[in-house]
A and B are shown apart, each in its own frame.
Chain A
Amino acid sequence: MKVSFPFRDPGISRLIVDKIHEVASELNHVKIMDFCGTHEWTITQYGIRSLMPKNVELVAGPGCPVCITPGYYVDVAIRLAIEGIRVFTFGDVYRLPGSSRDIPKNLEEAKSEGADVRIVYSVSDAIKLSKDGRESVFLAVGFETTAPATLGPICRGEVPRNMSFIVVHRLTPPITRYILENYPQSPIRGIIAPGHVSAIIGASEWEFVAKDYRISVVVSGFEPIDVLLSILEILRQIRDGRAELVNEYSRIVKWEGNLKAKEVMRSTCDVVDAGWRGIGFVPQSGLLLKRRYSDYDALTKYGIRELSEEAWEEDLPPGCKCAEVTLGMAKPTDCPLFKNVCTPERPYGPCMVSSEGTCLIWAKYGGDELLRGLREEIRYKG
């Protein structure tokens, strides 16, 4: 049975890869950052690194919402769970380690010690289950993609009074600006901008990357051919001395985004400075429920303080390089713990937990050196 998805066609893929090699041969070393965890997944799942010329390096960015969720909020959820409150969360967050040593390491461990922790696939499942009247908390992580889904029911009054939220939603353009601003030595020459996020916020939100920092930026879809086309576009721009915003994913992403979803975020939340795991406080990068919705804010409801910049503490385990990996400054293989102390079965750092975490993806599917070697070994005709 041949796969017949047009965006995965091996013949088209080969043509684009040939073009990439042709354009790259006129360039020096080029580092391209794929922002989004799902892009990193596509790149590894389809072996795109093994198809790149030697001078084109693909690095992952901070696009795994689980990896950058501060340990503080995981600890809050674990403590509430131990106190008998039912905690709902997405599967990826289930094994995410907190940062306190005095309580179970993650929600999975809290559950195996008797706490009521439930994995759900959507907020609406959690709302349905909460109609039974039990005190419940939803640990809401994610970028602009998931935020409207969490926040919509709150502003529509669909959430029962016994349910509240730990809102750890984070915004993607501010962290991108933060990286470009704070790491001017970064050799990133192009950015593959997140497709799902852009469907919400609009492609226009990425224009600053090209305008303010003279870096090529392409909003990309998630099929292998989308990503290959985006890489080719970035390389062509670099060759021609251009830095522009291009929307490769125009079949889904509009220039202005999804106005309804944006309105949901705007009407329920204030944009605030917010913590990113391993990175610290990033200006105007998080969502906080507005005061009129504070009944739904688990931290307010249970009298727990919000995380503040003054109280920010290093929340990565000792020796963990997740922050550098997240910022695209290091590869997982640069970390001495990688596949050594830190493995998919026993994750040590947050990037080894989520299926979108760069370290987990590399551990499962292999990084670039290994794949290049393998390709030669099996005399792959590439």
Chain B
Amino acid sequence: MSNMPSDDDFIKLSHGSGGKETTRIVSSLILSLLREDMMAVKGGIGTDELDDGAAIPIGDGRYIVVSIDSYTVNPPFFPGGNLGKLAASGTINDVLMMGGKPIAMMDAVVVEEGSRIEEVREIIQSFIEILREEEIKLIGGDFKVMPRGQLDKYVITTVGVGIAEKLIVDSNLSPGDKIIVSGTVGEHGAAILAAQENFSVEGELKSDVQPLKHLMLSLIEEFGHSIHAAQDPTRGGLAQTLNEWASKTGHLITVNEAEIPIRDEVRAFTELLGIDPLSLACEGRVVLGVSPADADAILDLIRELGYEDAAIIGDVKKSEKYGGMVVLESVAGGLRILEPPSGTIVPRIC
């Protein structure tokens, strides 16, 4: 049969895993249809930058920052949190990563017919609790139900709104900058993977999901001018964030593996499965690109604020030949290329 549909005719899970395939399909389905003047409001940031969110200037040198994300996770309750906490924290963090102070949120909750109301209530309560703690208003939303079998339980979409005095635009990352990560990486991804596969290590693995408002606003207030790039390394993890920065700026990023904080439980779990903890999602961490003069002071402040595992893990370098790459110096002293993750994560066999 010569008219067999080819691999390219279908959407696959890997198209949504946040790595290379996602970038490719978004470009081909959406961005390719946009004229340049459709990508951002004049003077603002939009799909031209593909940053954590968008920005619209409001006249007095300030900006409205807007960010949107859809959340669906299996299982909806996992060690360390649930879908509601994730949907609130994730979007708050995205607004913060643009330099915005989050003030308001809207949500769209889609639920599968037959879901238990108590379970939905628990998810929404967690969602609202984060908004209350972080002093963010819920200014609107939507609630829909899909017929049984047409949705895997729940999808929550949230829109976050904030105000920024000075935007953090990741393409400003410069040669000489230091890379800082605010804590141990890979915990959310590892916890979800363990919960999905019913691994018995589950108890020791906990999602790091949390809003970073206090941390980020303190950093912006004290060191706003020195923070050149900020991202929460969610889907695709640290590897994805660093690769996005390297390819956006054309610089070489070098990281020192021994300095990257990873919990022993996460390391043991990922080694068992043969997956790289650097490509697993974090939901309560920030990666920063900061000017070298203030790097130590910024690290000290992050640690003072309670993020004791924070570390300076690498540098940004100018390179004619190797620009756009991320290279890692291993604990054994050798080098390897840190690729952006691709494909859906499958374990190796021996």
Query: Residue A162 at the B interface, CB < 8 A?
Result: no
The answer, yes or no, to whether A300 is at the interface (CB within 8 Å) is: no
Chain B residues in 8 Å Cβ range of A373: 321-322
Q: Are A377 and B330 in contact (CB under 8 A)?
A: no
Q: Which residue of chain B is the closest to A14 with respect to CB atoms?
A: B333
Give A5 to B330 CA distance when docked, in angstroms.
Answer: 13
The answer, yes or no, to whether B336 is at the interface (CB within 8 Å) is yes
Pair A51/B254 contact, Cβ less than 8 Å: no
Residues in A whose Cβ lies below 8 Å from that of B192: none
Q: How many residues of A contact B (CB 8 A)?
A: 65
Asked whether B254 lies within 8 Å of A378 as measured between CB atoms, the reply is yes
A313 sits at the interface (CB 8 A): no
Give bound CA distance, A353 to B197, whole Å: 22
Pair A47/B349 contact, Cβ less than 8 Å: no
**Is the C-beta of A26 less than 8 angstroms from some C-beta in chain B?**
no
Contact assessment for A47 and B274 in the assembled complex, using a CB-CB cutoff below 8 Å: no
For the complex formed, measure the closest distance between the CB of A261 and the CB atoms of chain B, giving whole angstroms: 14
Contact B350 A196, beta carbon cutoff 8 Å: yes
Q: Which of A91, A196, A371 contacts B347 (CB 8 A)?
A: A91
Q: Is B311 interfacial (CB 8 A cutoff)?
A: yes
Could you mark each residue 1-42 of chain B with 1 if its beta carbon is under 8 Å from any beta carbon of chain A, else 0?
100100100101010000011000000000000000000000
In the bound complex, residues from chain B placing their C-beta under 8 Å from that of A354 are 348-349
Q: Which residues of chain B are within 8 angstroms of A41 by Cβ–Cβ distance?
A: 274
Whether A10 contacts B332 in the complex (CB less than 8 A), given A143-B350, A373-B321, comes out as yes
Complex interface: chain A residues within 8 A of B321 (CB): 373, 377
Of A1, A146, A370, which contacts B262 at CB under 8 A? Answer: A1
Q: Which of A47, A90, A146, A377 has the most CB of B within 10 A?
A: A47
The answer for the CA separation of A2 and B325 in the assembled complex, in Å, is 25
> What distance in Å separates the Cβ of B314 from its nearest Cβ neighbour in chain A?
11
**Residues in B neighbouring A375, C-beta threshold 8 A:** 335
Per a CB cutoff under 8 Å, which of B4, B254, B333, B336 touches A13? B333
**Does chain B have a CB within 8 A of A345?**
yes
Tell me how far the C-beta of A15 lies from the nearest C-beta in chain B, rounded to whole angstroms.
11
Question: Inside 8 A of A143's CB, which chain B residues have their CB?
Answer: 350
Residues on A with beta carbons closer than 8 Å to the beta carbon of B322:
373-374, 377
Looking at the complex, which of B132-140, B164-172, B337-345 is the stretch in contact with chain A?
Answer: B337-345
In chain A between 183 and 203, which residues have their CB closer than 8 angstroms to a CB of chain B? 196
Q: How many angstroms from the CA of A93 to the CA of B327 in the assembled complex?
A: 29
Within 8 A of B (CB), among A41-83: 41, 44-51, 65-66
| A145 at interface by CB-CB < 8 Å | yes
Q: Is the beta-carbon distance between A370 and B337 smaller than 8 angstroms?
A: yes
B350 & A380 in contact (Cβ 8 Å cutoff): no
Any A CB within 8 A of the CB of B329: yes
B328 / chain A contacts, CB cutoff of 8 Å: 47
Chain B residues positioned under 8 Å from A370 (CB to CB)? 337
- Contact status A121-B309, CB under 8 Å: no
- Does A17 make an interface contact (CB < 8 A)? yes
Partner of A112, one of B10, B258, B319: B10
Does A345 contact B332, Cβ atoms closer than 8 Å? no
Task: Provide a sorted-by-A list of 9 A–B residue pairs whose CB atoms are within 8 angstroms.
Answer: A46-B336, A92-B346, A95-B346, A102-B4, A344-B343, A345-B21, A373-B321, A374-B322, A374-B327
Spell out B's residues near A (CB within 8 Å): 1, 4, 7, 10, 12, 14, 20-21, 184, 197, 252, 254, 257-258, 261-262, 274, 309, 311, 317, 319, 321-322, 325, 327-337, 339, 342-343, 346-350
